[in-house]
Homo-oligomer: A and B are copies of this chain.
Amino acid sequence: MRIAIDAMGGDHAPLEIIKGVLEASQILGKEDELTLVGDESVIKKHLSDLEATTSPIQIVHAPETIGMNEKPVESIRKKRKSSIAIMAKMAAKKQADAIISAGNTGACVAAGQLRMRNLAGVNRPGISVILPTFGGPVTICDVGANVSCKPINLYQYAVMSSIFSTEVTGIERPRVGLMGIGVETEKGNDLVKKAREMIESDPNLNFTGFVEGRDIMNAACDVVICEGFVGNIVLKLTEGVVDGLFGAIKKELVIESKELAEKFGPVMKKIYQKYDYHEFGGGLLIGLNGISMICHGSSKSRTIKSAVLACKELVSHKVNDKIVEYLSNSTVRGNGE
């Protein structure tokens, strides 16, 4: 299996990325080929510093880099020699079975859409991420690829994310919930009402109806479907509330007693480890003809290692073949919606 990783993307690139790839390479077999894409001299220098010049990791030189705040489509069109653009081309030409980047998410989405094609039967790709919640792992799709969804997109996200959830988290017949603002059928906007009817009409999905914001953390379902605008807010808000609350607790504990605060430290660490989103590596740009994984900008080496291992799973479990097969048998069509 050939997996290409963007050495230049993310807040801790290139060092943490390269370290993560080295960690993954020690776990993978000889039949797996890992390729770092980025500035060759920089990568070589780091490999040398890490005393890993004899590692079997390949390098593909990319002289350009796309910054975190560059405009996605524009940057991909202009910077054809950037690591993200080159990787998308490698995936499109089947020179890589999977590509991974912790760089500019929008640029990764744009590169996928411009250079790779959609899977047969898929109208628009979405991003599926696994959120470790207090009730178990919950897959959320879309968290930002498609900000203006049509009902058919949400239906297809339900199909694709169900398959994704089964293959990655091992949940058989995952319960699919549609993000809404009340469980009653008449609540919500036009998009979710129409999407609900479409998803409901497919007896092969294990659909549980609308779910509300407070249900996500309880894992009231295994897969949550929403449009990218909503999903992105859900993801970032969750991060903000968790960080904020831990901060508030720390502050309050220090006021109460320093000793208590010190004792609470390890507990906090344990919780962080248990509900650590780094564990799943990144989100899958699902619906593309290829595997493109997008990691958090703050990815550390263990995130990248996890992402590489997750990609190996996704490719070897033939997730994309399963999606194509499912959709070719589905009678649900968008009719312009």
Write the residues of chain A forming the contact surface with B, with a CB cutoff of 8 angstroms: 69, 71, 106, 133-134, 144, 147-148, 179, 181-182, 184, 186-190, 192, 212-218, 228-230, 232-249, 252-253, 256, 260, 263-264, 266-268, 270-271, 274-275
Contact = CB atoms under 8 A, between A and B. Distances in A.
B244 A133 contact: yes
A237 B234 contact: yes
Contact of A71 (B186, B213, B228): B186
B253 A267 contact: yes
A252 B249 CA distance: 15
A217 B245 CA distance: 9
Contact of A240 (B144, B216, B266): B216
Given A184-B69, A240-B218, A270-B252, A234 B213 contact: yes
B218 A244 contact: yes
A236 B212 contact: yes
9 contacts: A106-B182, A147-B188, A181-B228, A213-B233, A213-B234, A213-B240, A217-B243, A245-B245, A248-B274
Nearest to A187: B106
Contacts of A228: 181
A148 B189 CA distance: 6
Contacts of A189: 147-148, 229
B240 A237 contact: no
Contacts of A241: 217, 237-238, 241-242, 245
Sort A-B residue pairs by CB-CB distance and give the 4 closest, nearest first: A213-B236, A213-B237, A214-B240, A217-B244
A236 B260 CA distance: 31
A91 to B, nearest CB: 25
Given A71-B184, A230-B233, A252-B274, 4 more contacts: A148-B189, A192-B229, A238-B241, A252-B270
Contacts of A246: 245
A23 B317 CA distance: 63
A181 B143 CA distance: 10
Contact of A237 (B71, B188, B216, B244): B216
A188 B230 CA distance: 10
A229 B181 contact: yes
A144 B181 contact: yes
A71 B182 CA distance: 12
A183 B25 CA distance: 37
A243 B214 contact: yes
A181 B109 CA distance: 15
Contact of A235 (B213, B235, B274): B213
Contacts of A212: 233, 236
